[in-house]
Structure 1
Amino acid sequence: MELKHKEEINNKNSTLRTSIRQLVEHRNFQPIVIGIILLNGLIIIAETYFTGNNLLLFLDKIIVWIFVLELIVKIIGLGFRGYFSNRWNIFDFSIVIGSLLFYTTPFVSVLRLIRVLRLIRMIPAIPALRKIIDSLMKSIPALTGILGLSILIFSVYAIIGTTFFRDVLPYEFFGSFHSALFTLLQVVTFESWASQVARPIIHEVPWAWAYFVSFIVIGALVILNLVVAVILSYLGQEDEAQLKEQMDRFYKENQELKRDIQEIKQLILERNNN
């Protein structure tokens, strides 16, 4: 009798968990979560205009508890192992728990940071954004080589700049190695580099045009394109991996279908022989 009672309880728990899992995996569940995140962003933006507004603070508290409820529902529906096996779920968990723990903290700056980080939950909520971030993370090992090349090029040009242009412009441009690095960063981003940096130096040192042109070609065009090429290659690999996975699944289904047809054919032949 006791064993039967336990089985009934387990069946009820299993049914409840299945129902919650179906709720979590429903096609309208994720859009609703995205809508709440967008509403949270609008409230945070509104608070920059109406600081300390009681209505906005009340709505923010409600959204925090909605996120907590979403977290609990997902953990129940997917299970602890299923939920925490996804690193994006771990990220969501950290943001929500951080929002809950720091909501009453006296450190206002920490609370504001956590509230802004809640908007980053949009990334795991939208598959396209999640795909881009996953590709960026996978491309980091390949980008380290490009980063090393960039450091080398910047260092060489910074040393050349401090050697020849130290006395042409004020100290904050090429007066030291670190200031030269910052100036080269300004040049590579094309931010007022011609009028503020290049032309005054070329006016005093005519051959300096070769310095700036070569640095822009190497630093801004070549290296930037290398970074873009690496990231795009990993985005393409993601698509190829998904395509290969689908083809493997279709192949397995095709093989199973062939086996089923062979078994049916064998049963028909045996029946006809009998």
Structure 2
Amino acid sequence: MSNLRTNLKQMVEHKNFQAIIIAIIIFNGFIIIAETYLKGNSLLLVLDKIIVWVFVLEMVVKLGGLGTKRYFADRWNIFDFSIVVASLAFYATPFVSVLRLVRVLRLIRMIPAIPALRKIIDALMKSIPALTGVLGLCMLIFTIYAIIGTTFFSEVLDYEFFGSFHTALFTLMQVVTFESWASQVARPIINEIPWAWFYFVSFIIIGALVILNLVVAVILNYLGQEDDAIREEQMERLYRENEELRKDIQEIKQLILNSNKNSN
């Protein structure tokens, strides 16, 4: 039994194992895309079933090789487990939309499979507490500008733009994403209220440039922290190895000295 577990562990940790899984996930993506053109195609459905059982086999191999405790210690393995179980649970469901959603979610397995993507998502998750402050600032700025917009511009444009607080928020979202904001929103208001240019320019500078750069800075900071943590861990490991090597050399030196004393 121990030999079987050792063999399974070696298989899971082999460099080609993960490459094969990535190739299967990509192939699964092509099948999902093909199904949007060839709905109900029997060959695609058979291939999809085969891929589901390949993922089940991968999960069983990992559980056997790593052990239950080590497997579920990694949150990405828990995510993979949930996707595979959902694929099996909803495969025969009459709810086609749920089944399609589960199939699409299988593509997200690409994230834990590729270290670079995994690193970015981990940094994003770690930065969420810090981003709450930026989100609070963003909500405050949007609220202030939405109130100003409904106060001064509600009678200039149609109700859908600045007629109420929630429509003003949506309009500001349109402005901050630069989606037809000048021709559809800003210019008609500026033609009626000349000073409105300051309202839109200041909002774009604060909302689109400052806050966006704050979000990027926070995320990059956590990406850098992860690199620093990996570097520190490597340095600590090298330090421990050097200390062990120094102790071994000291013991060998002491043995040689004792041997010389005895010979004399």
- Normalised to the residue count of structure 2, the TM-score between the two structures is 0.99
Matching residue within 158, 164, 168 for 1:180: 168
- Paired position in structure 2 for 1:105: 93
- Paired position in structure 1 for 2:195: 207
* Displacement after TM superposition at 1:249 (Å): 0.2
* Displacement after TM superposition at 1:84 (Å): 0.3
* Displacement after TM superposition at 1:270 (Å): 0.4
* Displacement after TM superposition at 1:187 (Å): 0.3
1:33 lines up with 2:14 in the alignment: no
> For 2:29 and 2:4, how far apart are their aligned partners in 1?
33
Instruction: Give SS of 1:206's match.
Output: coil
Matching residue within 106, 127, 134 for 1:118: 106
Matching residue within 131, 135, 145 for 1:147: 135
> For 2:39 and 2:102, how far apart are their aligned partners in 1?
17
Matching residue within 268, 271, 274 for 2:256: 268
Instruction: Give SS of 1:52's match.
Output: coil
> For 1:150 and 1:26, how far apart are their aligned partners in 2?
46
Q: How does 1:61-72 map to 2 (within 5 A)?
A: 61-72=49-60
Q: 2:86 is aligned with what amino acid?
A: G
Q: 2:234 is aligned with what amino acid?
A: Q
- Paired position in structure 2 for 1:7: none
Matching residue within 231, 235, 240 for 1:247: 235
> For 1:23 and 1:148, how far apart are their aligned partners in 2?
48
Q: Please, what is the CA RMSD of the aligned residues?
A: 0.3
> For 1:240 and 1:35, how far apart are their aligned partners in 2?
31
> For 1:65 and 1:127, how far apart are their aligned partners in 2?
24
1:22 lines up with 2:10 in the alignment: yes
> For 2:61 and 2:254, how far apart are their aligned partners in 1?
49
> For 1:106 and 1:51, how far apart are their aligned partners in 2?
16
* Displacement after TM superposition at 1:206 (Å): 0.1
1:223 lines up with 2:211 in the alignment: yes
1:44 lines up with 2:68 in the alignment: no
- Paired position in structure 2 for 1:5: none
- Normalised to the residue count of structure 1, the TM-score between the two structures is 0.95
Q: 2:152 is aligned with what amino acid?
A: F
Matching residue within 122, 132, 136 for 1:134: 122
Matching residue within 59, 77, 83 for 2:71: 83
Aligned residues: 262
Q: What stretches of structure 1 move > 6 A for 4+ residues in a row?
A: none
Instruction: Give SS of 2:209's match.
Output: helix
* Displacement after TM superposition at 1:223 (Å): 0.4
Mind listing any 5+ residue stretches in structure 1 that lack a counterpart? 1-12
* Displacement after TM superposition at 1:188 (Å): 0.3
* Displacement after TM superposition at 1:170 (Å): 0.6
Mind listing any 5+ residue stretches in structure 2 that lack a counterpart? none
Instruction: Give SS of 1:28's match.
Output: helix
Q: 2:72 is aligned with what amino acid?
A: F
What is the aligned-residue identity percentage?
Answer: 77
Instruction: Give SS of 1:106's match.
Output: coil
* Displacement after TM superposition at 1:38 (Å): 0.3
